[in-house]
Structure 1
Amino acid sequence: MFDVSFSELMLIGVIALIVIGPERLPKVARTIGHLVGRAQRYVSDVKTDIQREMDLDELNSLKGQMEDAARSVKSSMQTASDSLREPLDDARKALTEASASIENLATTVTEEAGPAPASTEENNASSDSDDTASAPVSLPDATAQDHENAAPQEDTATLPLPGFDDQDTTTTHTGKPS
């Protein structure tokens, strides 16, 4: 702090001995030592407080940066999630509409077609198999023209989904067994 050499300290000590006297010099020296010690501790405490404030400011700025980064990551994740959900919701809606359309078409076709006359071979085959299994319903000529691009006319509960042709490889594009 102060640049005081040993010779300067000796000079101050001699002057203090002459001015204060030999009886009171030890008390004054002790008091001055305590005051210098307190001053050093006070300066040290002030330095520590200033350093803490600087560190606190750095931590607050770092905290702000981390919060901004977290918000950025959260918003990008939300955006990505939303962009993935939209096609899935659209596909789900399209599948639901297609399923309802197929069910309506199947109901309409079965109502319009009525019971189909069975040939003798089909009667023999149906009597040998379960009563729940039935032959595919064929469309009359008038409705066949209306429904050229319609789905196969089989039981809709057993129809394979588009893209899942590996389950039933015996049907053709017309819906009739090959």
Structure 2
Amino acid sequence: MAKTLQEQLLQAGLVDQKKAKQIKQQKRKQKKQTPRGHEGVDEVKLATQKAREEKAEKDREKNRQLQVEAELRSLQAQVKQIIEMNRIARNDGEVGYQFTDGTKIKKIYVTEAQQNALAKGQIAIARLEELYELIPKGAAEKILQRNADAIVLLNQQDSQEEVDEDDPYADYQIPDDLMW
């Protein structure tokens, strides 16, 4: 018949009878101290629960990032649609209009009426991918609400400019479209 490990160790002379009894008593005490149904703290269950919680947190973060990206794509599509629907044809303009886009100076050709409207703030310049389009002020304001980077130029007319009382040239306004 199969002998237990303890009996085999006794026969081989590796453990004496006294040591075997002590080990048996320790096992019995240990069994009595743990409540039934709970054989110690189940570390595997704790580890899997922690792993599930971490995965759920990562999934929530990933979903939040995907939602933010989807909202950005939606706003970009709205901006593109507004520009395409409201663009003003330049009709082979002959007047060069220079403006700054970031740190670069760009130039587009517009008609004289469009140049005046740009200077007065009635028309704005919007960036559509690599091109620049003229759009009305109302459309530019809608785009500013969605993506301010798409509007390159929108002149604002300040009717309440502070004028120094001692300025001898206060009666003479400098035109915005002054060509040098």
TM-score (ref. length: structure 2): 0.41
| Higher percent of residues as helix | 1
For the pair shown, which has the larger CA radius of gyration, 1 or 2?
1
| Higher percent of residues as strand | 2
Higher relative contact order (CA 8 A, sep 6+): 2
TM-score (ref. length: structure 1): 0.42
